[in-house]
Amino acid sequence: MPLLRKDLLGLEGAGADEINLVLDTAASMKEVLGRKIKKVPALRGKTVVNLFYEPSTRTRTSFELSAKYLSADSVNIAASTSSTVKGESLKDTAATLTALGADLVVLRHPMAGAPHMLAGHIKAAVINAGDGAHEHPTQSLLDMYTVREKKGGIKGLEVAIVGDVLHSRVARSNIWGFTAMGARVRLCGPTTMMPAEIEKTGAHVYSRMEEALDGADVVIMLRIQLERQQQGLFPGIREYAGLFGLNEKRLKLAAPKALVMHPGPINRGVEIAHEVADGIQSVINEQVTNGVAVRMALLYLLMGGGPGEVAN
Amino acid sequence: MRLLIKGGTVVDPVRGTLEDADILVEKGFIIEVGPGIEAPGAEVIETRGKLVAPGLLDMHVHLREPGYEAKETVETGCRAAARGGFTALACMPNTSPVTDNRSVVRYILERARETGQSRVYPVGAITRGSMGSELAEMADMKEAGAVAFSDDGRPVAGSGLMRRAMQYASMLGVTIISHCEDPGLAAGGVMNEGFTSTRLGLKGIPSAAEEVMVARDIILAELTCCRLHIAHVSTQGSARLVREAKSRGVPVTAEVTPHHFTLTDSMVEGFSTAAKVNPPLRGEADVAALREAIADGTIDVIATDHAPHTAEEKDVEYDRAPFGMVGLETAVGLVWTELVDKGIISPARAVAMMTVNPAQILGLKPVLIEPGAVADLTVIDPELKEKVNPASFLSKGRNTPFAGRELKGMPVLTMVGGKVVYRR
Amino acid sequence: MHGFKQKAVILDTEGIRRALTRIAHEIIERNRGIDKLALIGIRSRGVPLAARLAGKILQIEGKEVPVGTLDITLYRDDLSTLSTQPLVRKTEVPFPVEGKTIVLVDDVMYTGRTIRAALDAVIDLGRPKLIQLAVLVDRGHRELPIRADYVGKNVPTSKKEDVAVLLEEIDGEEKVIITEEDKHY
């Protein structure tokens, strides 16, 4: 089944078939990554623009390498929203990118919905590389890839997501993605960081870490932004780590061989203890490798379209 | 030159009656009202099957002039009002400069007189620059023609200052129109807080942000005996607070906008900036509660909060887009389609909510259809169906979430001082 | 929508078996044994054919030759002209190709573009000593200067015709047929 969309803006509404297509394609891409010559000619002559309005070495590098391994040309544009206030609007940027001949734009933006807006103004495919607190679909796809690879499947698994769900685009994409794949999602974090009516997604909400971890097959820890303390969302790091930090003792409550994941970058000793981050159950580094395979798959799937491309 | 408005059904919002009658107009005044008027030589306006109402008044409009003429001017705003069936409007003071002194009030009145399309009643600012720190010269502005006072667009955050403002306004016998929004609770919010905001990852504005301030202002109105009007009520809780306050005799009135009694926050789906408005579109329970409050008389007024913006300003990332939507040219259609046609209120009460009720709040002489009255009239065709087409708007603003929606019951003729200013 | 009607059976079960047996012998003979020999089947139908050839070589020589699978999708030269992307499946070559004699195996040879892509794909895996090509059917109409080393059967065709290889492992039946577009379908 082909990916019948022009863009990848989010995972809300995505079906298991579509997700599986991406993950299967990513598995083929991972084989390419294992070769001595990690490069195939599939996207020769295609241009990928990485348009980043937020600094993110990790995601940007992952996309950049993905494009290179597929022989596409890639350009990085580091923009800032503050300069666009007086400078170019996103709409004008879209026109510029079209004029430059971009085939696909990877957009990271601090405002939710910016990729939707860009996609409406541009012929090129758009991949959402994280928009505000909305979605981060490629992170979720690589999380699902990692889980599928390690666990042999996703259906029926108990997936716990712990931390600042309110501000987390990773949490939102993972709720949609894992739920579509037949997993049960549990959310845990301070009530001040749990978004309104989140239980309507079908996820189960816990405020005690011990309950959320009990028997979980996958534990996804979210990064806590330290500035949330100033916003009055939690009283301090020490108390946060005490209530919601993942340590070895707590990890024992999860299912045996439960996977520990984190979208990075990690606040060691805050949301996750050293020994857990570096422990045998941690697949944090595999996530990074799989991120390249998943992004290669997405570039390949979204950039085929000739004139007969199917609009989203 | 005499005009005979013939064959229509005249709406009396005071007595709540509908009566078939002709209206004879001469030199800008109504000279006769009654069945079967014969007026040889008069120009005849045929209104069979239509409702003839006293000219409608929209008490919550942003004309944007002076300062934001790219969004709207007094002239374009008045033309939009005429097309929407309004013969009069009150305009909010968040212009640039802010309408916080006599000269801006005078300027707006002068511009309105030049345009001559509708009667314009400026609302003055409560505080200088609407900055919420010092009182503006309300008495002076009142004398210059301001009809009420409001810092609309932003709340008067300080409770102490709001108390003084109300005391001062009560001395002048004018109404304070309150934009109820607790800045701490609303901070940074861009839509209603609920499942949609959670899904879209947009910062929510909880209902409590409005309700806390509605409660505060009701308490202050009780303390100061000031006439308080709550602008754009959007939540179930606010409606309940107003209902309760009225039952205790607190001098409070309230308005609801057509968008708040029609739409929910699901309109923001797809990050639609046309649906970005403050207070935000709320949930289904709120819409139902507002309709109930309109039906039981808790809500006194339908007003549009007409807030035009340019296409460029709205065609940006959702977070960056300004709040507000235009409303003048869709209001009557929405009132008829959503309230009258659905039996929530009678045609006479709908007219009352856009004529005598707001006039009373603003201390204006109500426009009536009776001999000797000024000929300000709105003719509504309750059967006329029309799809909302922003391209046909006379407002400069096209920012409406109603584009493409079919409305039933449209204004077809607007007359100000005996002059037809709009004919559909 | 048009259907395809079967015009002629070129090879039946026996014919396919005999052709593969002959190719196996030729491979051994041409390479003077099977030292450093490896077979790589091109997805889809080259894969079972390569496995069968390996089986025959084992029967004749008493020794196993390594067998791999090649997916050439990422090397196609028509990706940007297709409206949707073809499925990418895994390439599985579980042995080093350096210094080996690689026999690429495919079912039908036509324009030569698949083989061109396969050559690139193999070379990206390493540097073989020699690459040879075995196909079950060569139907002509080459668009590139490419020629097969081992051919089961040469079948002159017109461009309107199509050659379909059906194999037990994939299709549940075993034959090679010529079909033609049926406009009355």
Rounded Cα distance, C91 and A31, in Å: 7
Rounded Cα distance, C71 and B409, in Å: 65
SS3 A98: helix
Q: Which residues in chain B show pLDDT less than 50?
A: none
- Catalytic-role residue among B58, B305, B376, B381: B305
Say if residue A93's pLDDT is above 60.
yes
Cβ contacts below 8 Å, chain A against chain C, sum to 70
- Note the pLDDT of residue C183: 62
Contact A112 B195 (CB under 8 A): no
User: B103: Cβ–Cβ under 8 A, 6 or more apart, which residues?
Assistant: none
Rounded Cα distance, A270 and C133, in Å: 59
Please state the rounded mean pLDDT for residues C30-46: 95
Residues of A in contact with B320 (CB under 8 A): 111
Sheet holding B419-423, edge to edge: B17-20, B9-12, B51-54, B377-387, B406-416, B419-423
Say if residue C1's pLDDT is above 50.
no
Rounded Cα distance, C179 and B213, in Å: 79
Rounded Cα distance, A190 and A254, in Å: 20
Rounded Cα distance, B174 and B139, in Å: 10
The full DSSP string for B6-24 is ES-EEEETTTTEEEE-EEE
Paired tokens of A8 = 């990848």
Paired tokens of B419 = 């002059």
Please state the rounded mean pLDDT for residues C81-104: 89
- Note the pLDDT of residue A306: 37
Paired tokens of A174 = 């993972």
Rounded Cα distance, B107 and B126, in Å: 18
Rounded Cα distance, A308 and B6, in Å: 60
- Note the pLDDT of residue C116: 96
Which residues are registered as beta bridge partners of B279? Answer: none
Residues of A in contact with C82 (CB under 8 A): 304, 306
Contact A304 C83 (CB under 8 A): yes
Residues of A in contact with B200 (CB under 8 A): 112-113, 134
Q: Are B88 and B118 in contact (CB under 8 A)?
A: yes
Strands C3-11 and C175-182: antiparallel
Strands B17-20 and B9-12: antiparallel
Task: Confirm or reject contact between A41 and chain C (CB < 8 A).
Answer: yes
Residues of C in contact with A297 (CB under 8 A): 88
- Note the pLDDT of residue A303: 87
What would you report as the CA-atom Rg of chain B, rounded to the nearest whole angstrom? 20
Minimum distance, in Å, between the CA of residue A42 and any CA atom of chain C: 4
Catalytic residue list contains B305: yes
The full DSSP string for B44-93 is EEE-TT-EEEEPEEEEEE---TTT-TTT--HHHHHHHHHHTTEEEEEE-S
Closest CA to B278 of B185, B396, B152, B159: B152
Rounded Cα distance, A306 and C37, in Å: 40
Average pLDDT of every residue of chain A: 92
Please state the rounded mean pLDDT for residues A84-112: 87
Sheet holding B43-46, edge to edge: B29-34, B22-26, B2-6, B43-46
Mutate to test the interface with A, among C77, C85, C98 (most CBs of A within 10 A): C85
Nearest chain B residue to A113 by CA distance is B271
Structural domains in chain B, CATH included, are 2-51+372-423 (2.30.40.10), 56-361 (3.20.20.140)
Do chains B and C touch, with touching meaning 3 or more CB–CB pairs less than 8 Å apart? no
- Note the pLDDT of residue A36: 86
Please state the rounded mean pLDDT for residues A108-131: 96
- What is the tens place of the pLDDT at every residue in B79-109? 999 999 999 999 999 999 999 999 999 999 9
C contact chains, 3+ CB pairs < 8 A:
A
Q: Work out the percent of chain A whose per-residue pLDDT is above 90.
A: 83
A contact chains, 3+ CB pairs < 8 A:
B, C
Please state the rounded mean pLDDT for residues C43-71: 96
Paired tokens of B171 = 């001395």
- Note the pLDDT of residue A312: 27
- What is the tens place of the pLDDT at every residue in A100-112? 899 999 999 999 9
SS3 A60: helix
Rounded Cα distance, A179 and A140, in Å: 11
Task: Confirm or reject contact between B272 and chain A (CB < 8 A).
Answer: no
Give the single-character DSSP code of B228.
E
Residues of A in contact with C79 (CB under 8 A): 42-43, 304
- Note the pLDDT of residue A86: 56
Q: Assign A82 a pLDDT band (cuts: 50, 70, 90).
A: low
- What is the tens place of the pLDDT at every residue in A188-238? 999 999 999 999 999 999 999 999 999 999 999 999 988 888 888 999 999
Contact C126 A29 (CB under 8 A): no
Say if residue A4's pLDDT is above 70.
no
Rounded Cα distance, C43 and C72, in Å: 8
Q: Are B255 and B233 in contact (CB under 8 A)?
A: yes
Please state the rounded mean pLDDT for residues A3-9: 80
CA distance between the termini of chain A: 15
User: B280: Cβ–Cβ under 8 A, 6 or more apart, which residues?
Assistant: B189, B190, B191, B192, B205, B234, B265
- Note the pLDDT of residue A3: 52
- Note the pLDDT of residue B273: 97
Give, to the nearest 10 degrees, the angle between helix A137-151 and helix A16-33: 80
- Note the pLDDT of residue A6: 87
Minimum distance, in Å, between the CA of residue A179 and any CA atom of chain C: 25
For residue C84, how far is the Cα from the chain centroid?
24
CA distance between the termini of chain C: 8
- Note the pLDDT of residue A307: 33
Q: What is the value of pTM for the model shown?
A: 0.92
Report how far apart, in Å, the C-alpha atoms of B130 and of each of B135, B149, B155, B229 are: 9, 11, 9, 17
Cis amide bond preceding B155, omega within 30: no
- What is the tens place of the pLDDT at every residue in A136-152? 999 999 999 999 999 99
Which residues are registered as beta bridge partners of A49? Answer: A75, A105
Minimum distance, in Å, between the CA of residue B161 and any CA atom of chain A: 27
Rounded Cα distance, B49 and B400, in Å: 30
CB A91: neighbour CB atoms within 10 A?
16
- Note the pLDDT of residue A304: 66
Q: What is the ipTM of this complex?
A: 0.93
Rounded Cα distance, B223 and B166, in Å: 9
Q: Assign C184 a pLDDT band (cuts: 50, 70, 90).
A: low
Q: Are A165 and A198 in contact (CB under 8 A)?
A: yes
Q: Are A97 and A124 in contact (CB under 8 A)?
A: yes
Mutate to test the interface with B, among A83, A134, A174 (most CBs of B within 10 A): A134
